[in-house]
């Protein structure tokens, strides 16, 4: 992959820059160091995960968010003036490198920081992301995935048919099918009341950067059209079993609502929907190292939040 990365870097005139592999899942990411210009992120896309039109739309959206003042990676045009290049059959882009520490790393420090101000600030930044996205007029050919009722619960969900996970117990399968049916009815009932627009869809702690007083947002691979509460649920899901969860939830929601209004009465529903997406996501990855243990965690979390939503108070 290093040879491919060097050939890809050449499209930006960086063939002789220093490359260091830093991550690999949906993208192969290399940190590019240029003595005179700093650092960049070279991303080599996994073939078939997103269409070229979707990748181009992602970059247009990120450029608009950067222009609006959000701290996000900014796409860098190639020597040919394009934001997206094809190299040896792979789609490739180059982004500015954001400095900082991930939220996940910060929360692991000893002593641990107070989570309330961190999540309050993250809620504010998430609201700014949604506001800036609403203010932007996408080009006519803009296309991204849809985390709507069909994308979450239809016959072909964005991340797969979670109710067909091969390791589900009979009880879990019945539970997930029941939630799928009930949630489809609830989304239909509330469709005119739910805030819907462009969302990041993956603001987990590894995709949030702390840089001084600012918060950076990384990895827009899964961003698209969706329910705004889904973004909040994505951030909160991995913390639902933590002792400090009530503080984290309250801070995130209050931070968001300090910037723009949002009805969060459906949060438990979207926690359940977010958890179910992970059950579907892991199915084609079950052969990867560690995937079996990860799969068990995803199913256990989905079971917990789905049961909580089903047993919650009746909707008003």
pLDDT of residue 300 exceeding 70: yes
Rounded Cα gap, residues 237 and 258, in angstroms? 21
Same structural domain for residues 241 and 137?
A: yes
Report yes or no on 315 lying in a domain.
Answer: no
- Count Cβ neighbours within 10 Å for each residue of 254-272 and write b for 16 or more, e otherwise: ebbeebeebebebbbbbbb
Q: Are residues 105 and 241 in the same domain?
A: yes
With b for 16 or more beta-carbon neighbours within 10 A and e for fewer, the 130-164 pattern comes to bebbeebeeeeebbbbebbbebbbeeebbbbebbe
Q: Do both 43 and 140 map to the same domain? A: no
The total domain count for the chain is 2
Q: Is residue 211 part of a domain?
A: yes
Final residue before a domain boundary, out of 96, 124, 147: 96
Task: Single out the residue in 96, 116, 140 at which a domain terminates.
Answer: 96
Which pLDDT band, with edges at 50, 70 and 90, does 214 fall under?
very high
- Same domain? 73 vs 111: no
For residues 28-52, give the mean pLDDT.
Answer: 89
pLDDT tens for 54-109 read 999 999 999 999 999 999 999 999 999 999 999 998 999 999 999 899 999 999 99
Say if residues 29 and 42 touch (Cβ distance below 8 Å).
Answer: yes
Strands 145-147 and 224-227 turn out to be parallel
Q: What is the CATH number of the domain that holds 59?
A: 3.30.200.20
- Is 179 found in the same domain as 46? no
Mean pLDDT over 265-269 rounds to: 97
- Residues 6 or more apart whose Cβ sits within 8 Å of residue 93: 42, 43, 45, 55, 59, 75, 76, 83, 84, 85
Is position 131 within any domain?
Answer: yes
Residue 225's domain spans which residues? Answer: 101-310
Residue 316 counted as domain residue: no
Of residues 242 and 129, more confidently modeled: 129
Q: Which of 66, 96, 126 is where one domain is finished?
A: 96
The more confidently predicted of residues 49 and 44 is 44
In a domain, 30, yes or no: yes
- What does the block give as tokens for 194? 């739910």
**Over 70: is that where the pLDDT of 1 sits?**
no
- The pLDDT score that the predictor gives to residue 42 is 95
- Average pLDDT on 220-225 reads 96
What percentage of the chain exceeds 90 in pLDDT? 85
Q: Are residues 241 and 113 in the same domain?
A: yes
* 86 and 111 share one domain: no
Q: With bands split at pLDDT 50, 70 and 90, how would you rate the model's confidence at 49?
A: confident
**Contacting residues for 263 by C-beta, under 8 A, at least 6 apart:** 193, 194, 195, 229
Same domain, 30 and 10: yes
């Amino acid at each position: 992959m290093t040879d491919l990365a060097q050939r890809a870097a050449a499209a930006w005139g960086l063939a002789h820059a220093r490359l260091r592999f830093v991550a690999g899942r949906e993208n192969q990411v290399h940190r590019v160091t240029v003595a005179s210009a700093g650092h960049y992120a070279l991303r080599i896309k996994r073939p078939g995960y997103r269409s070229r039109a979707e990748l181009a739309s992602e970059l247009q959206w990120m450029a608009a968010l950067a222009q609006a003042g959000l701290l996000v990676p900014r796409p860098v045009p190639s020597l040919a003036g394009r934001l997206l290049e094809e190299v040896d059959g792979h789609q490739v882009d180059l982004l500015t490198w954001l400095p900082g520490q991930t939220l996940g790393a910060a929360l692991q420090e000893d002593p641990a920081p107070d989570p309330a101000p961190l999540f309050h600030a993250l809620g504010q930044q998430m609201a700014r992301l949604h506001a800036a996205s609403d203010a932007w007029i996408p080009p006519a050919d803009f296309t991204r995935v849809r985390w709507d009722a069909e994308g979450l619960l239809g016959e072909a969900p964005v991340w797969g048919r979670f109710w067909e996970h091969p390791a589900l117990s009979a009880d879990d399968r019945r539970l997930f099918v029941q939630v799928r049916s009930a949630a489809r009815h609830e989304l239909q009932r509330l469709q005119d009341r739910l805030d819907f627009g462009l969302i990041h869809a993956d603001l987990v702690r590894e995709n949030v950067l702390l840089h001084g007083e600012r918060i950076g947002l990384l990895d827009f691979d899964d961003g698209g059209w969706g329910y705004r509460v889904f973004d909040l649920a994505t951030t909160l899901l991995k913390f639902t079993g933590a002792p400090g969860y009530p503080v984290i939830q309250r801070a995130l929601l209050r931070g968001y609502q300090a910037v723009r209004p949002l009805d969060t009465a459906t949060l438990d529903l979207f926690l359940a929907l977010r958890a179910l997406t992970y059950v579907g996501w892991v199915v084609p990855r079950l052969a990867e190292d560690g995937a079996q243990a990860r799969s068990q965690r995803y199913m256990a979390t989905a079971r917990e939040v789905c049961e909580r939503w089903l047993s919650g108070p009746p909707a008003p």
